[in-house]
Structure 1
């Protein structure tokens, strides 16, 4: 019989070690628990500074004496667990030291080279400069440092460092470069690559991050609407993929197939602008949202096509996903991006407009209103399902539209207004609308509460609105007028309400006859005409051609289907 006093002591000791284990395990959990605040600091660079050292730390919750933090007065940490939480016991983190150029001392050494290799680069016979010595760091990292101060203001100096994930990771930022060899880690589910920036980038005002799209000399302009790509960090897992003869695809990599499809359409349609209308990422499957966004943005950047993005309900859904604000701050700095966070006083992130200018003047020919439709309902008890556009957004839209009207009247031809959202409006299915140019294959998951943004679109003369969200719906809808010429107070048709259709294999499919697709909007600004059609990824006789072509606007007015 063990004395009660000893039993009590053993229990207390066990509780103490459980508490200590918990404290150590969550000591570095800020990345997991506060992703919005931490990710808003990305990317990891400091203007006017140069990197003087780089290393990797490993720690384990099973080892009470290990730590993933170095002296914060000397080292800064890239706030990304290199194991992306796949190792619940082990973690690894990239650290770097930096100094402002004017603070460099005689003994400071500037990092001018970085590579990842199993072999010692100092033993290579073809070294360019045998006097330069590569220094080893954990994870297979080798750094080359110079003690010549003039290297700090040259293109050789490394001025920023970052981490990207996945075998398909790409770098799209000017002056940044990915290491060809991944980090050499003992475990982990993702390939991890370091990315470095050499030299300081030119001011944003001189970069090609801001472009002004214009209609052609003939007045033509084409928009490709891409929705619901549902990309992952890494290659992704296919859902409901079909191949030849309508049979389920095997050995399908979701992101590979999605990006190949989009590349093909971009090359064939050659759009003047791309609208990304939400759910670019599959939240939980994209633990490093930055790597995922770069894969999609690269398609447009490589082709020098401007693009504008809004968010869907999945984009920031994961536990460690970037917040909408952090994602937009990243998008705002990328080449050819027209994306904008919009006014702080308006609900949501990504309420803004894009002007398509006339060919040879500063007058607007087409205005695109981009709005954030949020995610889940804030009042599930009364309105189960999805959120709705808020009054502050509707007020902003009406105020902006009215303030632009005078300038739009200066355009020599007919000015056209469109809007893009992610979650459809209730009017997409209310009042038995005319369905044209596609199929209604699944229920319309619009908000249960109607904030009447559609009425504001009518009042401001918007001729069409495009959405995503319901992947298998790819039709356009038009609310019919009642006999006598008007439905309620409406004196004319419109706006058209069109779905883009889901384009990504990381999102659901599974509805009979549905294939991944995108929507094209083709404008003739000289006569105020809009024709729209779709392009599908697969299969049969519909393959490799546009389908469901539909003229929706003529002479600046919404027109009903000819049939």
Structure 2
């Protein structure tokens, strides 16, 4: 029996070794392993230095051409520079890199990168050992025999590719290579590839700590349905139709609107409540999402993001996108537990003013997923799952217990943010008189009610706000069926981006703001428009006062 066990163990070990080397051989030749696995291989660990860079082009008409260089020497950045639009051509950036302790005196390291036409005067400034070297697609490299270190200001330690003339690089230590995009035979669709490089070691990103202001106030800007693209994007249903002579680039106009609101309202915190990326027009999701991340980083604004149903319709999953959000400056976004449904179930505590470390309010964020998993029974959109609700209840109870233990007596004005509206957002004709705002389309809530609204009320959440239905921007107070008392405000942000649908009945893009006054235990809210009466606070109202839900008093206004 013992011999049989030993023999079986040896056979299994040999089989495992054979399988490992077989997969390794296939991957080395044909790259069969997913990119997510490659990202964890030693070659991709930090602490590497770039020694060379090139572009490899291949054609489906030429069976001898290949888009893969020797993978023992080169690492391919998995972004087709044509973004899949080349009829017969593909092209990829390849880099060589080594660990710093493996560099020899004969190795060169890249200390500068340029693209486009090289200024002759630049060559005169170079040392004899640091001549500019030409590479395909208009790339110029300056390499040095100096060993350097990964801490050096010049040493290039990472390379990536972004797309579009409006590309933004929000990652600390990274910069877009200038002055031009890579030179390829592209169709001129404004999605031209651009190199971006990091110098030195990765920069540590310190997480911002949102805190109530010294006046007791905290202002939240909710931006929903940006629908950003790779490249400038095309406007959909722009209002008014003839603005700017009828010319409309979606993303520049959207971001100009958002930046104006940031400048005028000076919010303390931003909520990106889903559909930041317009999947079908964003073949490179990273380039699209970096636009809003870069704008918020530029203004040093902490923010939290959740996903909508369009964010992951492009090339990157929610998990990968959230990893990117988590790595960016000023982002407080989190993937949340991988044991519950969705990506992006988390909360952010806003601390009291001054040196206090206790929470003044909590903002909850939940993933409302995308489309129904059971279209026969519940056509339409997905719903918040029971284990998400259980997580939310446990988190809320835990935070209450923590505050109770510390004997804080302040009123918590907690809020929640989601993308797809809850079934309770649907209102009947009698309830129209109680809403404040515009209702220009039907509510596309899930057909199945999982009970999240009741959980919000049970945990004392004052307001929940969503996106998804671009042309709805109203707030509606849900009422207790027995007492008739208002128990939760449910608001829409309204659509902000020109890459998504809109324009119903002259409807202009907009954003929603909430201002929390902890001294008065009050929450106020209003909207701001992209066009029209742009200086006005539209539909301003107090929804919570003295820590209690304020019943609706105003009729809806178009």
How do 1:148-547 residues align onto structure 2 when only pairs under 5 Å count? 148-151=146-149, 153-180=151-178, 181-188=180-187, 189=189, 190-202=191-203, 204=204, 207-208=205-206, 210-243=207-240, 250-318=246-314, 321-360=315-354, 361-409=356-404, 410-430=407-427, 433=431, 435-481=434-480, 486-487=483-484, 492-539=485-532, 542-547=533-538
Aligned to 1:557: 548
In 1, Cα distance between the equivalents of 2:165 and 2:213?
Answer: 39
1:39 and 1:220, CA in 2 relative to 1: closer, same or farther beyond 3 A? farther
Could you report, residue by residue, the CA deviation over 1:537-559 in whole angstroms, capped at 9, with x for unpaired residues?
012xx232211001100111111
TM-score (norm 2): 0.88
Could you report, residue by residue, the CA deviation over 1:201-241 in whole angstroms, capped at 9, with x for unpaired residues?
24x3xx33x11100011210000000000000000000110
After TM superposition, give the deviation of residue 128 of structure 1 in Å.
4.5
Could you report, residue by residue, the CA deviation over 1:34-82 in whole angstroms, capped at 9, with x for unpaired residues?
7x8489779x963111001100000011111110001111110111000
After TM superposition, give the deviation of residue 251 of structure 1 in Å.
1.2
Q: Is 2:77 aligned against 1:78?
A: yes
Tell me if the contact between 1:312 and 1:375 (Cα under 8 Å) persists in the aligned partners.
yes
Ranges in structure 2 where 5+ consecutive residues have no aligned partner: 1-28
Could you report, residue by residue, the CA deviation over 1:176-203 in whole angstroms, capped at 9, with x for unpaired residues?
110121111122432211000111124x
Tell me if the contact between 2:186 and 2:192 (Cα under 8 Å) persists in the aligned partners.
no
In 2, Cα distance between the equivalents of 1:326 and 1:53?
Answer: 27
After TM superposition, give the deviation of residue 480 of structure 1 in Å.
3.6
Tell me if the contact between 1:358 and 1:411 (Cα under 8 Å) persists in the aligned partners.
no
Cα root mean square deviation, aligned = 2.2
Aligned to 1:4: none
Shifted more, 355-364 versus 472-481: the winner is 472-481
After TM superposition, give the deviation of residue 494 of structure 1 in Å.
2.0
Could you report, residue by residue, the CA deviation over 1:488-513 in whole angstroms, capped at 9, with x for unpaired residues?
xxxx4221000000000000013113
Tell me if the contact between 2:100 and 2:149 (Cα under 8 Å) persists in the aligned partners.
no
Aligned to 2:145: 147
Tell me if the contact between 2:239 and 2:506 (Cα under 8 Å) persists in the aligned partners.
no
Tell me if the contact between 1:242 and 1:248 (Cα under 8 Å) persists in the aligned partners.
no
Could you report, residue by residue, the CA deviation over 1:279-305 in whole angstroms, capped at 9, with x for unpaired residues?
001001011111111101111100101
In 2, Cα distance between the equivalents of 1:175 and 1:110?
Answer: 18
User: Tell me, what secondary structure is at the counterpart of 2:202?
Assistant: coil
Tell me if the contact between 1:110 and 1:151 (Cα under 8 Å) persists in the aligned partners.
no
In 2, Cα distance between the equivalents of 1:182 and 1:38?
Answer: 30
In 2, Cα distance between the equivalents of 1:368 and 1:417?
Answer: 6
In 2, Cα distance between the equivalents of 1:47 and 1:247?
Answer: 48
Ranges in structure 1 where 5+ consecutive residues have no aligned partner: 1-26
After TM superposition, give the deviation of residue 446 of structure 1 in Å.
0.1
In 2, Cα distance between the equivalents of 1:255 and 1:232?
Answer: 7
1:446 and 1:38, CA in 2 relative to 1: closer, same or farther beyond 3 A? farther
Q: Is 2:92 aligned against 1:93?
A: yes
In 2, Cα distance between the equivalents of 1:169 and 1:41?
Answer: 27
After TM superposition, give the deviation of residue 535 of structure 1 in Å.
0.2
In 2, Cα distance between the equivalents of 1:247 and 1:263?
Answer: 19
In 2, Cα distance between the equivalents of 1:199 and 1:345?
Answer: 36
1:151 and 1:478, CA in 2 relative to 1: closer, same or farther beyond 3 A? closer
